[in-house]
Amino acid sequence: MPKAIFIDAKGGEYEVDVENGQTLMEAASDNMLDGIIGECGGVMSCATCHVYIAPEWVEKLEPAGDIEESMIDVARDPQENSRLSCQITMSDELDGIVVHMPVSQF
């Protein structure tokens, strides 16, 4: 089973098993990780699952679509490597992905 590494704003690191087909938001929620809220349940209407993808992983992901880009624009402190974790579906190719959580989602 592939793993994702979540790093919180204080530097705490959490390695999580993520089933193929599961989103990073779902994995964070299932493992009760603070920092990813996912208020809308993954339908891209809140941006409370905003994360920063480690630079070495950005090119391995499908590009964000127009709706995701619009939601990232309203997230707190968006950066070049910002993504919505509800839009990143885990696969074996993403085993070991590193995801940084923002200081706050609001």
pLDDT at 59: 96
Q: Where are the domains of the chain?
A: 3-100
Beta carbons of 49 and 36 less than 8 angstroms apart = yes
Low-confidence ranges of the chain (pLDDT < 70): none
pLDDT at 103: 94
Nearest to 64 by CA among 94, 46, 85, 93: 85
> Which are the contacts of 12, defined by CB distance < 8 A and separation ≥ 6?
none
Q: What is the pLDDT of residues 89-105, one digit of tens each?
A: 999 999 999 999 999 98
pTM for this entry: 0.95
CATH architecture assignment, domain 3-100? Roll (3.10)
pLDDT at 52: 98
pLDDT at 26: 97
Q: Which two tokens stand for residue 12?
A: 């705490």
pLDDT at 106: 73
